[in-house]
Chain A
């Protein structure tokens, strides 16, 4: 460890060690469950990561390199004789030890103590902490609240509806490009010199998304000395200073995690702790730096980030609505057009299939006939009222299918938790004064695990009239914040692009 810290503009190196007594280390590791903690430790001990996560080992007294210069091995044994967690001799031995821990039952505390007081008593590297944090994110996919931003060329102006006014030039045709390492270098140049950040890239395990974890500390130095003494209190090491950025593959969008999400986290102390305001300004600083880092001024391609009005905890929904696929601008009932029709249905949309397509609702024509016959038989048995109810329910289901298509199903895992809508329309008046418009301030907030699936269920139960329901209630625009004008959300002429 160098004795001297010199202010620098470089980023924090991954190999920088944080003292295990630091509360941030406890916080990051402590919120992992025992199995995932063990799997993270085994990841650390993997050969690829070992150089950045070296555990505290006994000096190899039989090694050729240390043969003559070392003290006698007996002394070393004495050194760790009264140690509760004697250090292992090699990473391989340690790996076996943790695998055996994985096999048997025990408390999380045991593993945690072993890591902090035993095998990594000399400190955990920032890289290790990043891995642990990312593991937590994979364990709790909804722990972060993501906001989707579109990467657009800088020159565009916005009109009063917040829509793009694209000009007929070549610039509006260009699609922004993203290169991770160039982006990181530029971003580092944008970050202020008295703020140090540690960056980790990791591909998401299931989704086509590249995650970037940015961990920020307030210190102009990038040595471990600054981590230990330079005001390394819990506030500056707060996990609200961790920011995630996700880059979907093959799509000009960026998802940013909002820092409020971490303060909501139950593990953290409730209430606005010190440094929350600071971290907000830090995020805004980063937000300003992001488009500059994505821009390529030498090629005269400057970009900016544009909010798309979609904020959710569900990354899968974001990939669906702001991702590389076809469903970006075709949600709700329009999803039929975006449906790739894999498998059995694949043949149906090729022009080479000359079989007359049947309407989707009467899939099996003969079956429908049989059903109808059966229904006619049942009419005689059942009371007419009951039959009417059943007919209404069937119709409601069909209407819901027409409005929502195959989206907004309860178990598709693509739900938004909160939708805020402001109604800007005047109150519907009967006949009378047209001059006197009354615009009540109506603000609607839908809240739940899967908002639009809930609305779909309401239609299927017959509580909401699916035919008269406005289009923004189907979620087809893919926004969670919006104003309704002329009965339509986002852009009062229809959605546009």
Chain B
């Protein structure tokens, strides 16, 4: 008796939550509709809510289209430089048709004599992006800025936030594309494995050849996912090296008797990019 009652309460609670989320969605939809805007001109509270909603919608639009957006935030540390005001960069990443959690770079202005010079304060970028190196290139510290002097210091190199942001985004997107290609390779190889099990009626010779072709593991082998380690069922291992943009630099396959050039030709088949290998793998199966 009591358990059924508990279940009922739980179900009702879940229903309340879904209804609440529906309510929120409807509110925001209604508030953005132009017809509602003309209706609520008299209500102060609704109007402020509506303007908030409009601002949010605009922000979302910018985020979805521009992929790099900025925002202002504050450092909670009472001893923070520049009384805690910070500039945030939000870098959107799309992978497999979904927006991932954006990457953030938070910048501050630590040099008192150089009010417009920024410096990276915090960031959430993956370890494969050399944020320090890019910051040294595009956001160089002002000369003499270390002394914390007031007034005009000697002019150093110019900072270029836009190029910094672009370079960061380029690195991040490349990284995610490389990861995506590795995932595609895996999927193509797994597909091959499944199909092999299905078509048993094919000739035994061909079957064995395919068995040997079967890949058991494909994974990124280094920090930047530029190298892919490939393992075959018969113990051969391979290493595919691609450059920043996914062009194949090198592929080495080592079997029991040293380098296996035939398998390399089989896998590559004149492919220049890793995506071509994905297509080939999918076609072979």
Contacts and interface: CB of A to CB of B under 8 A. Distances in A.
Given A175-B127, A330-B122, A496-B120, A470 B78 contact: yes
B224 A175 contact: yes
A334 B92 CA distance: 18
B119 A166 contact: no
From B61, B63, B127, name the one whose CB has the most chain A CB atoms within 10 angstroms. B127
B122 A250 contact: no
Contact of B57 (A173, A174, A354, A402): A354
A251 B29 CA distance: 43
B130 A177 contact: no
A86 interface: no
Contacts of A173: 130, 133-134, 137
B132 interface: yes
A327 interface: yes
A486 B134 CA distance: 27
Contacts of A493: 81, 110-111, 119, 146
B177 interface: no
Contacts of A487: 77-79
Contact of B227 (A177, A325, A351, A488): A177
B127 A496 contact: no
Contacts of B59: 351
A466 B91 CA distance: 31
From B99, B123, B223, name the one whose CB has the most chain A CB atoms within 10 angstroms. B223
A469 B77 CA distance: 7
Nearest to A153: B133
B102 interface: yes
Interface residues of A, number: 60
A341 B135 CA distance: 28
B75 interface: yes
A30 B103 CA distance: 49
B80 A497 contact: no
Interface string B117-132: 0011111111110111
B207 interface: no
B112 to A, nearest CB: 10
A381 B106 CA distance: 47
Nearest to A174: B130
A371 interface: no
Interface string A134-173: 0000000000000000000000000000001111100011
A493 B111 CA distance: 8
6 contacts: A250-B126, A337-B106, A346-B101, A354-B28, A366-B20, A493-B111
> Which 9 A-B pairs rank lowest in CB-CB distance, beginning with the nearest?
A487-B79, A471-B77, A172-B133, A351-B63, A166-B136, A493-B110, A326-B124, A350-B99, A168-B137
